[in-house]
Amino acid sequence: MFGKKKEDNGFFTRLKQGLSKTHQAVTRKIEEATIGRREISEDVLDNLEEALITSDLGIATVDQLMGTIRWQVKRNELNDANKIKISLREAIREILVKTEQPLEILPVQKPFTILTIGVNGAGKTTTIAKLAAIFTQQGHSVMLAAADTFRAGAIEQLEIWGERTGCKVIKHAPGSDPSAVAFDALQSAKAHSADILIIDTAGRLHTKAPLMEELKKIERIIAREHQDAPHETLLVLDATTGQNAISQARIFSDALKVTGIALTKLDGTAKGGVIVGISDGLHIPIRYIGVGEKVEDLRPFNAGDFVDALFDD
């Protein structure tokens, strides 16, 4: 196992460092609730339940996990409080593994088109830059569409990343129609035979209906102009927003066909447990996780590594 981690260019170490606050929040509380108790009393179970709720796992998920624990206690399969951590770890791994579905760049008619959406500041543009670097390294040609025409400086921000990653950026003037940018970018990517087109969009509150309509329009235009596109609608969620990330995901996926999630900013937050609630409650593949601001800090989501980083000391 160590060999695998070593080959990982230190990402496992960064993942572990990034998750250290969540690790502390989750495991310390579980340990406080369980370690040194010989019997599993109602008290221990109540404390454990509270520990999980305050670790941002979400009520429904905690109910389910506690149901399993209580069942195991009842059947005498769990007769030692110290074993609770092991049982929880396995139950959490089982939840996470269901949404471990890395994004595959399918051999579709070019370009494979990725529409990126999410609330303000979630990490969309940074994630696009990181993806551009990953895909370019894999030998794909990548183009970017600056369809965030709303926020001042958004186009320049994407252009800087385009320069750094060597990807062409298609843009219009600030304030222009984002779906027109998406349309042009698609034509240009086809003309250049680009493998992948990634479309940046303006951050929007999921509660603002006209802005959601604007996103739907982009989705419609891409679908009309290109077969089976968008091939991926990637919702970027900020882990530091905790349970709010789950309600964002519900509202965005009511409006658009969200096919994948990138969960950013898992570093520096104690709310990383939210990934379990996202996995359990939404059934949308978690494609990537972000544990830092650097390009190499975005990685395909791997449930096993995540659980190891979360529980191991």
Instruction: State the residues that interact with Mg ion by CB under 5 A.
Output: 124-125
Report the 10 Å Cβ neighbour count for 87.
16
Q: Name which of 125 and 141 has its Cβ closer to Mg ion.
A: 125
268 near ligand GTP, rule: CB under 6 A = yes
Which residue, 37 or 172, has its beta carbon nearer to Mg ion?
172
Q: Which two tokens stand for residue 53?
A: 């709720």
264 binds, among Mg ion, ligand GTP, none (CB under 5 to 8 A by kind): ligand GTP
When CB distances are held under 5 to 8 angstroms depending on the partner's kind, the choice from Mg ion, ligand GTP, none that residue 302 binds is none
Q: Is 14 in the site for ligand GTP (CB under 6 A)?
A: no
Q: How far is the CB of 263 from Mg ion (least distance, A)?
A: 16
Tokens, residue 8: 């990982």
Asked if 178 is part of the footprint of ligand GTP (rule: CB under 6 A), the reply reads no
- Smallest gap from Cβ 264 to ligand GTP, in A, equals 4
- Contact call for residues 118 and 236 (beta carbons, < 8 A): yes
CB of 126 to ligand GTP, least distance (A): 3
* The residue to which tokens 């096919």 are assigned: 259
How far, in Å, CA of 5 to CA of 56, rounded?
27
- Interior angle at CA 65, CA 60 and CA 66, nearest 5: 95
Binding mask 145-174 for ligand GTP (x = CB under 6 A): ---x--x--x--------------------
Is 267 an interacting residue with respect to ligand GTP (CB under 6 A)? yes
Asked if 66 contacts 52 with a C-beta cutoff of 8 angstroms, the reply is yes
CA distance linking residue 225 with residue 258, whole number of Å: 19
- Select the residue interacting with ligand GTP from 113, 125, 179, 259 (CB under 6 A): 125
124/130 with CB nearer Mg ion: 124
Strands 232-238 vs 112-117: parallel, antiparallel or unpaired: parallel
Which residue type is seen at 285? P
By the rule CB under 6 A, 123 interacts with ligand GTP: yes
Alpha carbon distance 67, 29 (integer Å): 19
Contact criterion met (CB below 8 Å) for 183 and 197: no
DSSP, collapsed to helix, strand or coil, labels residue 293 as: coil
Could you give the angle at which helices 274-282 and 84-97 cross, rounded to 10 degrees? Answer: 50
Closest CB to ligand GTP among residues 91, 270: 270
Residue 229 Cβ vs Mg ion, minimum distance, rounded to whole Å: 21
Residue 206 interacts with, from ligand GTP, Mg ion, none (CB under 5-8 Å by kind): none
Between CA 12 and CA 6 the distance in angstroms is: 8
Site for ligand GTP, residues 205 to 234, rule: CB under 6 A: none
Q: Which residues pair with 169 in a beta bridge?
A: 144
Our finding on whether 297 is near ligand GTP (CB under 6 A) is yes
* 254 close to 285: Cβ distance less than 8 angstroms: no
Q: Which of 111, 162, 178, 203 binds ligand GTP (CB under 6 A)?
A: 203
Task: Give the binding site for ligand GTP (CB under 6 A).
Answer: 118, 120-126, 148, 151, 154, 203, 236, 264-265, 267-268, 290-293, 297
